[in-house]
Amino acid sequence: MSRVVFLLIGLFLSQLQAQVNPIKIVEKPSNNRMTFFAVNETQTDYDVLFEVKGKNFRQSAAKPRWIRVPATSKVHLKTVILFRDKKPVFTKSLKVNDSLSKRALKKEFEILDIPPPKIKPRKQITIYTTNTCVACDSIVAKLTVDNLIFRSINLNEKPEVKNQLSKFIAKSPEEMDSISSPIISLGGKLYSWIASYEQLQEELNRE
């Protein structure tokens, strides 16, 4: 029984390690060669140590070195020569370290077009806009540039939301069409006086 439990725990840890590994290995075949690349889609630099063992291929006898893989990049790790008319068998080993070493080999790399991750604000943000609200556009644009998670609802396109919202801020639906600043919900609390991104940040960070 204990052996079964041990095997199950080992399998779970192996699966968990595979899930959290920030570096992916990509293989690219070409004629009689196989090239291995490290792909880092995160915003963190890593050092990696990559080894290939197996049969039906030839590789350099040099000792593997730690290689720097910058954030959002693709780096060449190794190229092996395949034996003609034989199917190669690879056993790959990858070690990843976020403690960067000055001795790590820094190779040329390809920058990947990966947007930075969205940032969850301290309070949930919903911004209600109209087609004629200039301040709305400015705040939405800055929220987007700062990569904050938020919802934007155009009241001209959602009359049912506009009618409901008008009851909470004591404005008629017609008055809502001509608002000069957005109506913003921060953590469920409505604000109708926020006219700039700086004011939004102040209220967002207020305890």
Going by pLDDT thresholds of 50, 70 and 90, the confidence category of residue 134 is confident
Q: Tell me, yes or no, whether 62 and 95 share the same domain.
A: yes
* Structural domain that includes position 49: 22-111
Q: Tell me, yes or no, whether 100 and 136 share the same domain.
A: no
Say how many residues make up the chain.
207
Q: Output the pLDDT for position 7.
A: 37
Total domains in the fold of the chain = 2
* Mean pLDDT for the chain overall: 88
Over residues 94-130, the pLDDT tens digits come to 999 999 999 999 999 999 998 888 999 999 999 999 9
Q: Tell me, yes or no, whether 97 and 164 share the same domain.
A: no
Mean pLDDT of 81-101: 95
Burial (CB < 10 A; 0-12, 13-18, 19+), residue 200, is buried
DSSP states along 109-135: EEEP--PPPPB--SS-EEEEE-TT-HH
Q: Output the pLDDT for position 11.
A: 43
Over residues 162-181, the pLDDT tens digits come to 888 888 887 787 888 888 88
Mean pLDDT of 127-143: 92
Residue 151 and residue 86: Cα distance in Å, rounded? Answer: 56
Last residue of a domain, one of 52, 86, 111: 111
Does some domain include residue 50?
A: yes
Q: Tell me, yes or no, whether 139 and 106 share the same domain.
A: no
CA 120 to the chain's CA centroid? 12
Over residues 176-203, the pLDDT tens digits come to 888 888 999 999 999 989 999 999 999 9
- The pair phi, psi for residue 60, each rounded to 5°, is -60, 145
Residue 46 and residue 25: Cα distance in Å, rounded? Answer: 14
Q: Tell me, yes or no, whether 130 and 87 share the same domain.
A: no
Does some domain include residue 64?
A: yes
Does some domain include residue 14?
A: no
Last residue of a domain, one of 80, 111, 142: 111
Q: Output the pLDDT for position 15.
A: 45
Q: Output the pLDDT for position 146.
A: 92
Q: Output the pLDDT for position 16.
A: 41
Selection from 13, 14, 21, 63 nearest residue 41 by Cα: 21
Mean pLDDT of 37-42: 96
Q: Output the pLDDT for position 176.
A: 83
* 162 vs 73: which has the higher pLDDT: 73
